[in-house]
Amino acid sequence: MSEKTYPPSQEFAENAHIDAAKYDEMYAASIKDPEGFWAGHARDLDWIEPFTKVKNTSFKHGNVDIRWFEDGVLNVAANCIDRHLETRGDQTAIIFEPDDPEAAAQHITYKELHENVCRFANVLLSQGIMRGDRVVIYLPMIPEAAYAMLACARIGAVHSIVFAGFSADALANRINNSGAKVLITADEAPRGGRKTALKSNADAALLHCSDKVRCLVVKHTGGQTTWIQGRDIDLKAQMEQASPDCPARPMKAEDPLFILYTSGSTGQPKGVVHSSAGYLLYAGLTHKYDFDYHDGDVFWCTADVGWVTGHSYIIYGPLANGATTLMFEGVPTWPDASRFWQVCEKHKVNQFYTAPTAIRALMAQGKEPVEKCDLSALKLLGTVGEPINPEAWNWYNEVVGKGKLPIVDTWWQTETGGHLLTPLPGATATKPGSCTKPFFGIEPVILDATSGEEITETEAEGVLCIKDSWPGQMRTVYGDHERFEQTYFSDYKGYYFTGDGCRRDKDGYYWITGRVDDVINVSGHRMGTAEVESALVAHPDVAEAAVVGYPHDIKGQGIYAYVTVMNGVEETDALRKDLEKWVRSEIGPIAKPDIIQWAPGLPKTRSGKIMRRILRKIAENDFDTLGDTSTLADPAVVDDLIEKRKAQK
């Protein structure tokens, strides 16, 4: 394999926080003495009561327990805001770029952020929200989303953001699972010139929730919504009346900061719980080092706050570092394919962080939309969410980076809180498609998938596990610690199991090969095949369904659904359309199958287990390596599926 490497330029390395020698030295120190390493960095946070204990963690199945700085007391919002007031009160904390390019951008200073967060926190307090209470946030990418998160942190409430693209049903599930007392939403979410009626989704969701749940509504577009007296509250009006002061509550290091639901290979989405101190420390440190963030830089992460990337690299990481962070309400391709680059030019963005799916979509539009914009402020490019194919990497490098900028391909997960495998831009020579090396304190291991043995040779391929804890690690699954242990610590005892396959090359570089469980990655968003299946079988015309991923040019993976209809039901295009609509309303637009194939029968073992391996191959149009089909109850179904797949184009 030809592996071109891209070392950092001498100039970049000289000005970077971390160069190659420093990386080696700090990495070795962080593994040899994790307590010393993390305590040293944690002391840079603002503590109300300093910690005396650093690390108290166990990965032992049956006894998984993760605590960092457990006797320390601090407040996350105070660390993200108040701490900076004296030195940078008038500096912009958040640049808000609205969906409509004609509408004015907002520059919110640290002082203004402080005032808005305090007012918001006082509104929450007036609704009876207390420390530990859960607050669900279902908002567009607007400043109020940042205020809401930080207001919760300020009073010790636990936020749980639900991506605005999820349906009313998905929202109701998350409100109920977390036992939230308040839902924060907006009238409408404008994106790409169209408006999603968030409030009416919220209304539909709340029909399935306790009538004690209050609904704080941001009047954002001014669009008309129904209004339920006594339940719905006009947030902006309340904020105007609220006091601009609200003391930050002292929180224990291990108090939960937020819950974020994510898909797994089985059942309902899991509520991933993150801590206060450890999470903040990890988000802040990875933001500073991995993007080589320097004071005065403008940082732009294009994710939505509804995903963990938005939590760690739009809000908590950047603000912990006193950065200027950009929040963008729109989409990359509206009004046209130059929007991202127009925004970079307009706000003189220095670090730009996006997903391979966006790069591929923009690559398809050619160079012109990029080249007409002035990108001279850019110093670094980043990617996240899925493996980046070399073509997309090269285009990003050449067309956007003009061959001069470091590209950081950051591998991590909702569960990890921040990057685990990533280049350090002043230190690491990159290879297109590889997320390169571990961050400080991270001990990746590759295990043989069947024996579970650690492969100690440098060159290795198997499943990716992590040997020991780091501060940003999730602490539990909300309300179900057993599921936490079962999911991450039971297949390979003593390790954190990531669910990813991985290869390590002769230089010790890591290459993620994709999920090894029944999770697919659609446009950088994680989707459980089981979730889509259960949505499909809930339709009255569907007897059975099996969902797998298949390679998709733009999305990375697409959703391929095999559907068996009920006896007597006709396999029509109208039904296909209806099923698409059905899945959208059960989960959300991101779960809509790209291809639905009618399957009179599914390949099953004699014990009735669906053989997904075969379904995956057929979806991939790979009919020659189906493997052993002799254990199938009825091998003929495979031929039938292949015929139908071939007819599909």
Chosen residue from 27, 316, 411, 439 binding ligand WT7 by CB under 6 A: 411
529 binds ligand WT7 (CB under 6 A): no
CA dihedral 305, 306, 309, 312 (to 10 degrees): 60
Rounded to a whole number of angstroms, the minimum distance from the CB of residue 519 to ligand WT7 is 7
Return d(Cα 387, Cα 37) in angstroms, integer: 30
Q: Is residue 414 part of the contact set for ligand WT7 (CB under 6 A)? A: yes
Is 43 within any annotated ligand binding site? no
Kind of pairing between the strands at 158-161 and 256-262: parallel
Query: C-beta of 501: minimal distance to ligand WT7 in Å?
Result: 9
Least separation in angstroms between residue 552's CB and ligand WT7 is 15
One of 410, 476, 529, 557 touching ligand WT7 (CB under 6 A): 410
In 3D space, the residue among 290, 350, 335, 360 whose CA is nearest the CA of residue 524 turns out to be 360
What does the DSSP assignment read for 365-382? T-SHHHHTS--TT--EEE
Among residues 474 and 632, whose Cβ is nearest to ligand WT7? 474
Give me the phi and psi of 540, to 5 degrees please. -60, -25
231-250 mask for ligand WT7 (x: CB under 6 A)?
A: --------------------
> How, if at all, do strands 298-301 and 324-328 pair?
parallel
Residue 67 among known ligand-binding residues = no
Number of residues this chain uses to bind ligand WT7 (CB under 6 A): 22
Which of 190, 472 has the CB closer to ligand WT7?
472
Contacts with ligand WT7, 250-279, as mask; x by CB under 6 A: ------------x-----------------
| Strand ranges, E, within 553-644 | 556-565, 595-598
Q: What are the residues whose beta carbons fall under 8 Å from the beta carbon of 168, sequence distance 6 or more?
A: 201, 202, 204, 205, 585
Q: Does 528 bind ligand WT7 (CB under 6 A)?
A: no
Q: State the DSSP H helix or E strand holding residue 552, giving kind and residue range, or none if neither.
A: strand 542-552
| Lookup: tokens for 419 | 């990057």
Is 410 annotated in a binding site? The answer is yes
Q: Is the distance from CB of 443 to CB of 466 less than 8 angstroms?
A: yes
**Of these, 428, 521, 523, 597, which contacts ligand WT7 (CB under 6 A)?**
521
191 is annotated as contributing to ligand binding: yes
CB of 513 to ligand WT7, least distance (A): 9
Residue 505, token pair as written in the block: 């090359």
- Alpha-carbon distance of 520 to 517, in angstroms, equals 8
193 among annotated binding-site residues: yes
What 3-state DSSP class applies to 199? helix
Q: Does 515 bind ligand WT7 (CB under 6 A)?
A: yes
Site string for ligand WT7, 370-409 (x = CB under 6 A): --------------xxxx---------------------x
CB of 45 to ligand WT7, least distance (A): 23
* Stretch 446-505 residues interacting with ligand WT7 (CB under 6 A): 498-500
**Among 38, 412, 489, 562, contact with ligand WT7 (rule: CB under 6 A):** 412
Nearer to ligand WT7, 275 or 434 (CB): 434
Handedness of CA 116, 118, 119, 123 (dihedral sign): positive
Rounded distance between C-alpha atoms, residue 97 and residue 328, angstroms: 5
Residues 275-314, one symbol each (x = binds ligand WT7 by CB under 6 A, - = not), give ---------------------------------xx-----
Q: Which residue has the tokens 């999470």?
A: 279
- Contact between 444 and ligand WT7 (CB under 6 A)? no
Closest CB to ligand WT7 among residues 155, 259:
259
| Beta carbons within 10 angstroms of residue 25's beta carbon | 11
Query: Is 432 marked as binding a ligand?
Result: no
H helices, E strands: number in the chain: 22, 31
Select the residue interacting with ligand WT7 from 238, 389, 413, 585 (CB under 6 A): 413
Taking the CB of residue 405, how many other CB atoms lie within 10 A of it?
A: 22
The answer to whether 131 and 155 are in contact (CB under 8 A) is: yes
Residue 409 labelled as part of a binding site: yes
List residues forming the annotated binding site for CoA.
191-194, 309, 523, 584
Residues near ligand WT7 (CB under 6 A): 262, 308-309, 384-387, 409-414, 435, 498-500, 512, 515, 521, 524, 526
